[in-house]
Amino acid sequence: KQEVTQIPAALSVPEGENLVLNCSFTDSAIYNLQWFRQDPGKGLTSLLLIQSSQREQTSGRLNASLDKSSGRSTLYIAASQPGDSATYLCAVHNQGGKLIFGQGTELSVKP
Amino acid sequence: GAVVSQHPSWVICKSGTSVKIECRSLDFQATTMFWYRQFPKQSLMLMATSNEGSKATYEQGVEKDKFLINHASLTLSTLTVTSAHPEDSSFYICSADKAHNYGYTFGSGTRLTVV
């Protein structure tokens, strides 16, 4: 059974810092891995999608890496801003067809 | 792009009544849609997989008679919470994937409060 774990559960940093969010999964048989952002009371916004054959994806200040063999992914946020404050969710798309979520990392960027 | 629209965004209903939530894929066809439930400060829990033209597949522990899913067209899936009770109060989100290599797109969610 696929399990997805995110560390840390919460993170508070001053504005301008670079930071790394971690995601690990137990079954490497995945189609892809997706990072999402969720603001309080809102739906999910897709940030980055990494296919199982890829090592990383970049979008603006965001960079996500994938090491499928070790079951790990990281989301790197450069030069953090208060507007980055949100919950970040990692999800793996199993070859069984389901999207399995981690518990999320609640990020707070202080001005 | 891939846009999923969910309606309503919030609803308050009396205990014992039924509530229907709609999920539409606006610019693509989705043979499969997914319904999730999220409790405060927790992650998303998959409730069921909605299959166009056939019965939904429910996750273990989810009552199919309580949460009725209908996927009558390639762009619309509905979730009906029947005989709602206060413990059904939660945030419900739907999603669909345009293609395996495109990733999942989520609706904006529905906040259900049963009083």
B17-53 confidence digits (pLDDT tens): 999 999 999 988 888 899 999 988 888 999 999 988 8
- Tens-digit pLDDT string for chain A (111 aa): 899 999 999 999 999 999 999 999 999 999 999 999 999 888 899 999 999 999 999 999 999 999 999 999 999 999 999 999 999 999 998 876 788 999 999 999 999
Question: Which one of A30, A101, A108 would you mutate to disrupt binding with B, by most B Cβ within 10 Å of its Cβ?
Answer: A101
Interchain contact A13–B (C-beta under 8 A): no
B57-90 pLDDT per residue, tens: 999 999 999 999 999 888 999 999 999 999 999 9
Task: Give me the amino acid identity at B15.
Answer: S
For B109, half-sphere exposure in the C-beta direction (CA atoms, 13 angstrom radius) is 19
**pLDDT score, position B14:** 97
Contacts A–B by Cβ distance under 8 A: 53
Q: ω into residue B8 within 30 of 0, thus cis?
A: yes
Q: Do B50 and B35 contact (CB within 8 A), yes or no?
A: yes
Three-state secondary structure of A48-97:
EEEECCCCEEEECCEEEEEECCCCEEEEEECCCCHHHCEEEEEEEEECCC
What pLDDT does residue B100 have? 61
What is the model's pLDDT at position A62? Answer: 98
First to last CA, chain A: 41
Q: Are B82 and B66 in contact (CB under 8 A)?
A: yes
By the CB < 8 Å criterion, does A110 face chain B?
no
Task: Say whether A43 and B104 touch across the interface (CB within 8 A).
Answer: no
Using the 8-state DSSP alphabet, how is residue B101 labeled? Answer: T
